[in-house]
Structure formats: C-alpha cells, structure tokens
Amino acid sequence: MSDLEQLIRTVPDFPTKGIQFRDITPLLADASAFGEATERMTAPWRGRGVTVVCAIESRGFIFGGVVAHHLGAALVPIRKAGKLPYATQRLEYTLEYSSDALEIHTDALKQGQRVLLIDDVLATGGTASAAAGLVEMLGGIVTGVQVLIELAGLKGRKLLEGREVRSLITYEGD
C-alpha cells in the first residue's frame, strides 16, 4: 500500500448498499500528501506538449487546476449539463443503468491543442470517454487521461482503449 493510498478512506455502502466509496478528503486534508499527489499526476506529462488541462466535474477540478499550473497549461472545465454559462458542445453518454451528459464551452479549445484529461476516479470509463469525445469534437487532441484512483474491476480502461491512461492508486476489486 502506498503512502497516498493510506490516506484514502473506504466508506462501505455509500452512496448505496454494496458500494465501497473511496473518499479522497483525508488525502486533500494533508497538505504534503496533496502536493505529492498533484506532483505525481503532473510528472508523466511534462515535456509532452500539453497546452490544456481539461478537468472533469467535480473532483477533477481539485487536481486539474494544480496540474495545469505545474504544466504551464490552460485549464478548461468539463461540466455536467446546464452548468456552463456560454454556448456549449454537449455529449450524452450511457452509465450502467442510466444516461448523463457533459458539456464544454464551444470556444474552449483551438484546433490541434494537446489536452490532458484529469479526474479523481476512473470507474466504468463513461465519463472520461465522453470528456475525450468532447475534446475531439472541438478539434483538440487527447494526449492522455490522468486520474488519482482507478477502480480496475470496473474495467473503465476498455472505453479508453488506444489512449494513455495513468493512475496513482489502483483498487483491483472495485
């Protein structure tokens, strides 16, 4: 178990029975660990030409701003439908038992910009895949996907095949 992983609290049966929720708030509350996590999330992408970090709502915002700063890149939020104030591009995606939608401002990216997607957790991959689709709709190039935690048992990487995906902490059984 890594030092960072020790700061992830598992909350059983949240938000519903049978779910093992991985709570990142203890990690965020430790300034040193938070700094280490954001540095480790940044390191693989240095020198790779990333010009924009797209942070996925909502906990992706926590890490995305810091990583963008470390990379000298712009920060673009990708939000749930109806949360952005200007003209948006929208992409609906399917979850296990429902659907959802993400949006990005239509003027958020320029053709050919190299984008790093950031989120806290990769689970089924639907959200990250939809975010990548939005970036590509606007002409951006998805350089990779960086998350703090991957729930490998949910096989989210399958929806991101062909993309570089990195995680700092992996839980196999979730």
Please identify which of the residues 22, 57, 59, 150 carries the catalytic annotation. 59
Counts of helices then strands in the chain (DSSP H, E): 4, 9
Catalytic residue, candidates 9, 36, 79, 96:
96
Q: Tell me, what's the pLDDT at 174? A: 61
The architecture CATH gives domain 45-171: 3-Layer(aba) Sandwich (3.40)
Q: Enumerate the domain spans of the chain.
A: 45-171
Low-confidence ranges of the chain (pLDDT < 70): 1, 96, 174
In this prediction the pTM is 0.95
Q: What is the pLDDT of residues 102-113, one digit of tens each?
A: 999 999 999 999
Indicate if 39 belongs to the active site.
Answer: no
Look up 96 and say whether it is catalytic.
yes
- Outline where 23-154 has alpha helix (H): 25-28, 31-42, 59-71, 126-137
Contact 91, 137 (CB under 8 A): yes
**Residue 36 and residue 42: Cα distance in Å, rounded?**
10
